[in-house]
Amino acid sequence: MNRESIFIEVEELVTKMNNANLRIFDTTILFFRNETNPETAYEKYLQAHIPGAAFFDHNDFSDPSSNYEYTILSGPEIVKQIGHIGISHDSEVILYASGVLPSATRAWWILRYAGHNNVRILNGGLAAWVKAGGSLEQEARQYKSSNFKGSIKSDMFANKEEVMNAMENSSIRLEHTLPLDMYEGVTIPGSFFFSVMDLMEEMNTFVPNDKFVPELKTETEYERIITYCGGGIAATVNAIAHLIAGHKNVAVYDGSLFEWMGEGLPITKKEI
């Protein structure tokens, strides 16, 4: 896939704002919230968002019965929820986030997994929109429900069983995407490292291709690439980078370290 099929720049979005089939979603997730910062992502959305944008609630796409946050819903439930938020096969979907690109890439990965191909991410997110002089609104928006018939691409997500097998398979690259200090050096045995921080500028802009494509193109000997992080969110940034670099068989380990460590599966520790 090329970069233009995944990302849209703010200048192009401006020209599309009056398109009837356009669906814009604020996909923001607020990480590391605590009692002194109780604001929710939805509350932040209500304070300021791109005109017409609805809120993409990641909890609505997560399995409530899972022990781990943001575990993907079953295929049929994902398809149903996509239609519920107003996306049809004719919709052109634009996703953005406020300061946290990984939440937008996760939403992109979910929609592509469900078979919706006309979806892109606003590079630079809300900050880019504001910088370009775009107006903001506070009114809550919601698109009319539609009928979406998905086609699940099951190979876009990997489960723990596949990752366990991949540890012993040299044709599969396991890629740890978080800075090591975030998990005190804990990693899945056999993993390589490529920090998501090297793929972003100020947490909301995807870096130019020449910053990563030459390095990732050298990984052509692998039949499959599986990226992981803490909970399957940041790993989607790396997965997208691999797609842009020309790899076709790329997956995200949905459970990532939350599940892996929670299940007591094998780990190694690297010096920080």
From the options 3.40.250.10, 3.30.70.20, 3.30.70.2660, 3.30.450.20, give the CATH code of 155-269: 3.40.250.10
CATH number of 3-152: 3.40.250.10
The contacts of residue 45 (CB under 8 Å, 6+ apart) are 26, 28, 53, 55, 98, 140
Q: Where are the alpha helices (DSSP H) in 48-95?
A: 75-84
Q: What confidence category does residue 47 fall into, taking pLDDT thresholds of 50, 70 and 90? A: very high
The segment(s) of the chain belonging to CATH 3.40.250.10 are: 3-152, 155-269
pTM for the model stands at: 0.96
Query: What is the model's pLDDT at position 46?
Result: 97
Q: Taking 90 as the threshold, does the pLDDT of residue 256 lie above it?
A: yes
Distance CA 196, CA 232 (A): 12
Residue 186: closest CA among 266, 93, 255, 115: 266
The 10s digit of each residue's pLDDT in 190-234 is 999 999 999 999 999 999 999 999 999 877 789 999 999 999 999
